[in-house]
Structure formats: C-alpha cells, structure tokens
Amino acid sequence: MLAGPTKVREASKVKARQRGMPNSGQTPQNYAQHSADQKLTRPPSNFVKRTPIPSPSSPRGIAVQITSELSAATSISPALESPKLEEMKLPELKELAKSRGFRGYSKLKKCELLELLRS
C-alpha cells in the first residue's frame, strides 16, 4: 500500500477552466462572438508557395568564362607546360588561372582546373 495520505479531488470544488476562455466572467456565446470579430479584422494572407531553386543542368566546368583577348595573348605550348602543371598545388594553379584571365576558377577542383589551363 501507499505510505502517506492521498488527496482526492472533489468535482464540486474544482472548476474546470476551458482553454482560451478569459478570466472575466464572459459566457461562451459572448466569447465566441468576440473571437469572430477579431478574425474579421485580420488582413488576408499574401503567402505564395514557391518551388526550390532548380540545380543547374550543366556541369561546373562549362560555367567558366574565358576572355578572348587574354587567352590569345598566352601562347605557351601545352606540351612544355603539362608536367609543370601536374606538380603545382591548387593555390598555385588558381593564381595561374587568375593571371591568364579565367573566370570561375575558384569553384573548380584541381583536375578540372588542370583541364582548363591545358586548353
């Protein structure tokens, strides 16, 4: 058995409070009318459901833009430069791409950047 006194609630003593009812003695009919008046004063919503931004269908390497003047000015043969490019680290490759006037190189991986510099 339980050790200690237990409390029993009497239904007549406890008054159940309805959720949303004000403490002042309004009757449910008056309260319903009051809440309906409040709903009418609220402006209508302008919500528009939007779809998420679609992912680009082209690969990242195609988005790179090359300026024609600077690419024509660099006339280093790819055969001589290829072994040097393989040994270079990514920050060095990015600096080289910047000096040649390429755009969008910062988002490329090393292998994609190598392909861009060889072309």
Nearest-angstrom CA–CA distance, 115 and 38: 66
Specify whether the CB–CB gap between 111 and 56 falls below 8 A: no
Q: Cβ neighbours of residue 34 under 8 Å, at least 6 residues apart?
A: 26
Q: What percent of the chain is predicted at pLDDT more than 70?
A: 41
9's enclosing H/E stretch is none
Interhelix angle 110-118/78-87, rounded to 10 degrees, is 160
> What's the confidence (pLDDT) of residue 87?
87
More confident residue, 65 or 116: 116
- What's the rounded mean pLDDT across residues 4-18? 54
The pLDDT tens digits of the residues spanning 29-65 come to: 666 665 555 556 778 888 888 877 766 665 555 445 5
Give the max Cα distance, the chain.
99
Is residue 107 within 8 Å of 64, Cβ to Cβ? Answer: no
